[in-house]
Amino acid sequence: MATMESLIGLVNRIQRACTVLGDHGGEGMSLWEALPSVAVVGGQSSGKSSVLESVVGRDFLPRGSGIVTRRPLVLQLHKIDGGSDYAEFLHTPKKKFTDFASVRKEIADETDRITGKSKQISNIPIHLSIYSPNVVNLTLIDLPGLTKVAVEGQPESIVEDIENMVRSYVEKKETTSSTLKLLVAPNCIILAISPANQDIATSDAIKLAREVDPSGERTFGVLTKLDLMDKGTNALDVLEGRSYRLQHPWVGIVNRSQADINKNVDMIAARRKEREYFETSPEYGHLTSKMGAEYLAKLLSKHLETVIRQRIPSIIALINKTIDELNAELDRIGRPIAVDSGAQLYTILELCRAFDRVFKEHLDGGRPGGDRIYGVFDHQLPAALKKLPFDRHLSMKNVQKVVSEADGYQPHLIAPEQGYRRLIDGSISYFKGPAEATVDAVHFVLKELVRKSIAATEELKRFPTLQSDIATAANEALERFRDESRRTVQRLVDMESSYLTVEFFRKLHLEPEKNTNTNPNQPGPNADRFNDNHFRRIGSNVSAYIGMVCDTLRNSIPKAVVYCQVREAKRSLLNNFYAQVGRREKERLGAMLDEDPQLMERRTTIAKRLELYKSARDEIDSVAWK
Ligand code: GDP
Ligand code: MG
């Protein structure tokens, strides 16, 4: 794997970026999508598994004569930060393989599990992940070998089946993912394996590669088994591109023979042997530096690097787009709050002011609700005044009763002064009801506007504690205003009783009328003194006076209510609260700015992601210009 070192730095940086992107599901993308995979294609026993192992630098694949690879093996190499290598299969999650011989056995067993011990093939892939500090993140795919004829125990369709399966892995794929529209879907790199001891013209690998990649830009021609060529023949025509031209140079390979495998010759020894083979070869000596598994790995990693670099601008574009989105979301849910108490106090006051602005808009217009106060004055109060029971109170009978009682033993001579006063006082006291009802009605409108304003203050949304603090403070203030307003309207009513408008009575005819009632069937206690008309007139005089008072109060009660409640609410709704907040110590201030825990969590998550995305961008920026 040493040859892939140069790729490691680059891919790791991009990996870090992509993990961030991919970790967050849905909108993200994973490095596996950003990086091309590498698949080996070739005839049966051409050495595909052997080449793949060489590229990875590990022995873990079943190899041998006959059809050994009977299911696709999707091998994901994962770079880890430290520790020793281990492998995991998708079909045995949580089971860690640290012994690679048992990995090979598990591949063979798992193949048999689906296909039986027969020579059947299956297109259900085996997923194997290898975790190692010494690999780059890369997907490699080992495929069953292409064949020409079905052997004993295989269905006739096997030739075609294998070809279709292989094709499905290496065909050019169009991108469907919306995220990846930014990124051109990376297409599989083809390692087209042909054995040197067969005529290249008969190579299944080349045939298929040419079909799916006519320009040859993603095909690497690999010639195996150079050591098995007939004495006196060589592969120079192929290796030097004369037999069949590919865009990338051909690479000759000498893998371990079956005898080597049987003797457990390890990877290092095999590589040394391969190097010796080329160095001492009379035919290939001049090509030594461009032959062998290590060189192939280097070539492949350089190619991967080019492909990845081409992808960098679109990865950066994707990251930038996400950064913009995250910033927008942070703006929407609100930035984090400052921790020092000065800034917190400032924030609280700003939020209160924002609430106050909304509240005033409700009152003054621009937002609905303030008009309901006018509704109270224009509709509710006059209706309540109209309903007062003056008819009953000033009925002839009651007038007679009140006047007579007020006169005592001496009936009045000219005008019943005391009777008038009692009747007027009694009537005026009825105004207290509608006056207080008006105060209460406006109080409830104001309370409702406070509630509405809190809900409508965008800036407050994230602070439930402060919301309820403001609500409490505002409602307390409204209560105080209501008390004051109540006292004031009561006074207005009391004032009407305390001094009567004298002019009103001067204009009236107040003298008692002679009793003309001679009906003996209607004797009353005063029947002998005053007739009914006299009391009727008193009643109507008082009623006229009360009508005048009513007009006055209909106008003055709204003035008092606005003065005491509405105007104060606009002027000083939160004044007490400001004073309290100013005296509060640091901890309490922080507590007032408590937010919905879910929201705080969301913000932290976004902030963290933003941080990671930015570092991912820096990471990628730093490799983009090398
Ligand atoms: P696959 O079927 O294409 O995966 O091929 P394998 O990698 O399983 O190899 C098939 C057989 O060919 C094994 O016995 C290997 O040891 C042998 N083999 C592969 N490459 C070479 C090579 O370059 N030289 C020699 N001598 N044997 C090889
Ligand atoms: Mg194989």
Longest dimension (CA), the chain: 163
Rounded to the nearest 5 percent, the helix, strand and coil shares of the chain are: 60, 10, 35
Alpha helices in 67-157 (DSSP H): 100-115
Ligand 1 atom closest to the CA of 142, numbered from 1: 4
Mean pLDDT for the stretch of residues 383-408: 95
pLDDT in tens, 51-108: 988 887 778 777 877 777 888 898 887 778 888 889 999 888 889 999 888 998 999 8
The structural domains of the chain, with segments of one domain joined by +, span 8-151+162-169+176-331, 341-516+523-594
Strand order in the sheet with 189-195: 86-89, 126-132, 73-79, 138-142, 37-42, 189-195, 219-224, 251-252
Which residues does 625 contact at the CB level (< 8 Å), separation at least 6?
Answer: none
pTM: 0.58
Which numbered ligand comes closest to the C-alpha of 67?
Answer: 1
Mean per-residue pLDDT, 265-277: 91
From ligand 2's centre to the CA of 372, what distance in Å?
85
- Ligand 1 atom closest to the CA of 196, numbered from 1: 23
Which residue lies with its CA nearest to atom 9 of ligand 1?
A: 47
What pLDDT was estimated at residue 8?
A: 58
Looking from the CA of residue 224, the nearest atom of ligand 1 is 23
Atom number in ligand 1 closest to CA 52 = 7
Task: Please tell me the distance from the alpha carbon of residue 587 to that of residue 293, in angstroms, as a whole number.
Answer: 67
**How distant, in Å, are the alpha carbons of 151, 345, 444 from that of 348?**
83, 5, 26
Which one of 59, 191, 254, 255 would you pick to mutate in the ligand 1 pocket, going by the greatest count of ligand atoms within 8 A of its CB?
255
Identify the CA nearest to 611 among candidates 405, 388, 330.
330
What pLDDT, on the 0 to 100 scale, is given for residue 10? 65
584-616 pLDDT, tens digit per residue, is 887 788 888 888 888 888 888 888 888 878 887
In angstroms, what is the span from residue 132 Cα to ligand 2's centroid?
23
- 95 by Cβ neighbours in 10 Å (0-12 / 13-18 / 19+) ranks as exposed
- What percent of the chain is modeled with pLDDT above 90? 48
Residues with CB under 6 A from ligand 1: 42, 44-50, 63-65, 68-69, 145, 224-225, 227-228, 253-258, 261
Q: How far is the CA of 49 from the centre of ligand 1 (A)?
A: 8
Average pLDDT over residues 480-499: 97
Measure 51 CA to ligand 1 centroid, in angstroms.
Answer: 8
CATH T-level fold of 341-516+523-594: Four Helix Bundle (Hemerythrin (Met), subunit A) (1.20.120)
Average the pLDDT over 340-353 and give the result.
91
Interval between CA 65 and ligand 1 midpoint (Å) = 7
From the CA of 573, how far away is ligand 2's center (Å)? 82
Question: 8-151+162-169+176-331 falls under which CATH superfamily?
Answer: P-loop containing nucleotide triphosphate hydrolases (3.40.50.300)
pLDDT tens for 106-116 read 998 998 888 87
Ligand nearest to C-alpha 224: 1
